[in-house]
Structure 1
């Protein structure tokens, strides 16, 4: 498996990668997220110190060949190597069965893609000699030098993450619905899994991938936010907290003041007054599927550095999406009546 991964060379190796130890970054995407993935990666490189290079692994949930080429063209000429990894087939069937339940009958949000769950298997998919990696969702942009995050000490934690902007603790209404059954303290903080510094070595020793699937199958009716709930349940008291600047959502600007937020006054003021290190578009409304999304100007700033330069979510794109949605809904209704 790992040998096959190394054969998937998708870009000329840069000399600096042979000399210096690169920052290992992992993303997971299907074809719908090919463009956002390019924006995330390009924003990373645009702000990276010249002293560092990137080894980017992309867990491939079905990205079309033409879009893979566009991703590579976006990153060409940079101190970056890209490797596409096939999705984790050894876990796929067990994962998909539980995923379908959470979307159709359980609590999970319908905009959560199955590709999001692939981060569970990062430690199994990457070569064993890689002990540490940064995982990034594909719905974010980076405005700061990621080497600062890479240098943060993991300690004995499984992951480093930022407290979720909106879900303050596991006992919040939209936190872990089964926290009491799990014996987790109600005051335990809940982290957002969109930006993670991962201790791959400890993850492997702890067999987290296997435990995550077991949790998904056993508690699927309680899951609100996909694998994010799973990781919060598994890593209680075993994750380190990052500066919230590394995972800022627009929701932080919805608070009337620091007293309402989960942050002390100085940290809240810093978030409000300064440019975020990482902007995370967490809701179902993204810059590429909705208009008037807060902070979307940052996304479009970086999209113009990609092979999708000039792309915007226009009124006509919005109208087309609505028509497609209505058509699919009509087809599904017809299907229900014909099968009955």
Structure 2
């Protein structure tokens, strides 16, 4: 597995420079990056892509794959314009496999929003067998750091490189859910929005089929569907990354040098004022082809929508408190020996 860091060679002689330029396409390490979105997240994805491209190391090539559900051709064309030298962007519609996952309450993201895209990351290793290692990113992000440094981190035989989800760990009311429903210590419960993925190991241990089997057999109630399955299945087989790779605007001081900013849950600068790390988002957004739409979206974000956000958060906490008492939970199934982890 190639974990080569994408650092430029500063010792080259001028005589060799032209020759090496001509061979860049074959010598530069390739970094595969995945997003999964639907039409509604296209404006935020434009900011993610721009920031990723602007801060990428020129010593690497980047193959960005956008796996989408229900996107208009003109939206795809606008996002495609962000591509450039050594930064390709391809678009792939979701397979019919994803259509078999039904819309039921336990699969809702943030307790109020269902989308098939939240499950797709679990199938990426099988959908793209040409890659042994890749990065998955949610689209509600900004990337002020050099993503190649994250890709260079060695995973060895672990499945994932992750960051603790301190937006959940710091919510006392949800600690009971994480420990007693998912079966993970709150300080080791990771966020699935930023993942360094060992595709090879996940294929070899059949992550996708294990997920589908468990979902069909138990229909676990969850508050973070794919995230909870990954935490339960991959427990103790992950590498914890520096938290700056998943900087979340929750109840922590801002990191001085965030590498990836993840505006998760309801902390989104295109909805609210005074969100931590918002300066990074707006600095890039003003260069986006979707900028006017982003501004209009924020201006039109109503008090009713904000009230719904507050209600959804309360609902998430309420469900999180109730789920551990159910007869069937991830923790009970795995700790009883009924099922084995990956």
- TM bin, normalised by shorter chain, reads 0.7 to 0.9
Q: Of the candidates 91, 95, 104, which is equivalent to residue 88 of structure 1? A: 95
The residue that corresponds to 1:280 in the other structure is 262
Change (3 A) 1:223 1:22: same
Does the CA-based 8 Å contact 2:141-2:261 persist in structure 1?
yes
More displaced, 29-38 or 111-120? 111-120
Give the Å deviation of 1:216: 2.8
Give the Å deviation of 1:79: 2.3
Does the CA-based 8 Å contact 2:57-2:148 persist in structure 1?
yes
1:212-235 CA-partner distances (Å, limit 9, x unpaired) = 122333443431111000100000
Q: Of the candidates 263, 276, 301, which is equivalent to residue 318 of structure 1? A: 301
The residue that corresponds to 1:229 in the other structure is 228
1:15-45 CA-partner distances (Å, limit 9, x unpaired) = 9545423111011000001111111111111
Does residue 214 of the first structure (1) align with residue 213 of the second (2)? yes
The residue that corresponds to 1:111 in the other structure is 113
Aligned positions, number = 282
Does residue 26 of the first structure (1) align with residue 40 of the second (2)? no
**Mapping for residues 51-66 of structure 1, pairs under 5 Å:** 51-66=59-74
Does the CA-based 8 Å contact 1:141-1:278 persist in structure 2?
yes
Cα RMSD after superposing both structures: 2.8
- Could you tell me the TM-score, scaled by structure 1's length? 0.75
The residue that corresponds to 1:136 in the other structure is 137
**Mapping for residues 43-58 of structure 1, pairs under 5 Å:** 43-58=51-66
SS of residue in 2 equivalent to 1:249: coil
Does the CA-based 8 Å contact 1:165-1:248 persist in structure 2?
no
Change (3 A) 1:273 1:149: closer
Q: Of the candidates 278, 281, 293, which is equivalent to residue 296 of structure 1? A: 278
Gaps of 5+ in 1: 1-13, 254-270, 326-340
SS of residue in 2 equivalent to 1:167: helix
Q: Distance in 2 between matches of 1:298 and 1:273?
A: 12
Change (3 A) 1:292 1:19: same
The residue that corresponds to 2:175 in the other structure is 172
1:55-100 CA-partner distances (Å, limit 9, x unpaired) = 001111122111111101123x34211111220212421x2x2x42
Change (3 A) 1:176 1:123: farther
- Could you tell me the TM-score, scaled by structure 2's length? 0.74
SS of residue in 2 equivalent to 1:230: helix
Q: Distance in 1 between matches of 2:181 and 2:299?
A: 43
SS of residue in 2 equivalent to 1:147: helix
Gaps of 5+ in 2: 1-21, 309-342
